Amino acid sequence: MDNVEADRTTAGGRMPGIRPFDARALLVPEDRAAARAFTQRLRAEGRLPPVNTAATVVVMVAFCILLGGFGVVALVLLVVFASVLREGAVVVGILFAIPAVLLIGAVVSIPLLMRRAQRTQEDRRWRLAGFARDVGMEYVPALPDPALPGAIFHIGDARTAYDMLRAPLPRFVEVGNHSYTVSNGKTTTTSRWGYIAVRLDVPLPHIVLDAVGNGVRLGSWERGQHLSLEGDFDRYFRLYCPEGYERDALYLFTPDVMARFIDNAAVLEVEIVDEWMFLVAPQELSTTDPARWAWVFSVIAALLDKLEQWGRWRDDRLSVEAAVAGPAPSGVPAPTGAPVTSGGLAPTGAPAAVAWPQPPVGVAAPGRRLRRTSPWLILGIALGILFVGGLVVTLGPLIALSFVR
The mean pLDDT values, 10 residues at a time, for the chain of 405 residues are 46 64 96 96 89 59 65 64 57 63 68 85 97 96 96 95 93 97 88 97 97 91 93 94 96 95 96 98 97 96 91 86 42 41 46 63 95 63 52 60 58
Based on the fold, state whether residues 123 and 262 are members of the same structural domain: no
Which of 312, 336, 360 terminates a domain? The answer is 312
Chain CA centroid to CA 54, Å: 30
How many domains does the structure of the chain reveal?
Answer: 2
Within 8 A by CB and 6+ apart from 190, the residues are 179, 180, 181
Domain-located, residue 108: yes
28 lies in the same domain as 174: no
Question: Do 200 and 114 lie in a common domain?
Answer: no
pLDDT on residue 343: 40
Please check whether residues 71 and 120 belong to one and the same domain.
yes
- Assess if residue 364 is contained within a domain: no
Q: Is 7 exposed, middle or buried (0-12, 13-18, 19+ CB in 10 A)?
A: exposed
Q: What is the DSSP letter of 159?
A: E
Q: How many CA atoms lie within 13 A of 265 on its CB side?
A: 27
What's the pLDDT at 169? 79
- Given this model, what pLDDT does residue 50 score? 75
Domain end marker among 99, 118, 134? 134
Residues 146 and 67 in one domain: no
The answer to the question of residue 73 being in a domain is yes
Residue 405, domain member (yes or no)? no
Which has the closest alpha carbon to 38: 160, 163, 129?
129
Kindly state whether residues 100 and 184 are assigned to the same domain.
Answer: no
| Verdict on whether the full-model pTM lies above 0.85 | no
Strands (E), 155-186: 157-167, 173-184
Cα–chain-centroid distance for residue 156? 13
Q: In a 3-state reduction of DSSP, which class is residue 227?
A: strand
Name the residue range of residue 63's domain: 23-134
Q: Quote the pLDDT of residue 342.
A: 38
162 found inside a domain = yes
**Is residue 334 one of the residues assigned to a domain?**
no
Q: What pLDDT, on a 0 to 100 scale, did the predictor assign at position 359?
A: 82
Look at residues 46, 52, 18 and name the one whose alpha carbon lies nearest to residue 140: 46
In a shared domain, residues 270 and 152 = yes
What pLDDT is recorded for position 388? 57
Whether residues 64 and 157 share a domain: the answer is: no
Backbone angles phi, psi at 143, to 5 degrees: -150, 105
Nearest-CA neighbor of 373 among 220, 238, 224? 220
Domain boundary among 134, 150, 167: 134
Map residue 326 onto helix, strand or coil.
coil
Q: Does residue 362 lie in a domain region?
A: no
Query: Do residues 81 and 183 both lie within one domain?
Result: no
Measured between alpha carbons, how far is 320 from 367 in angstroms, rounded to an integer? 17
120 and 156 in a single domain? The answer is no
114 CB burial (10 A radius; 0-12, 13-18, 19+): middle
CB 324 within 8 A of CB 354: yes
pLDDT of residue 184: 83
For residues 169 and 303, membership in a common domain is answered with yes
* Judgement on whether residues 125 and 270 belong to the same structural domain of the protein: no
Q: How far is CA 279 from CA 181, 214, 269, in A?
A: 21, 13, 6
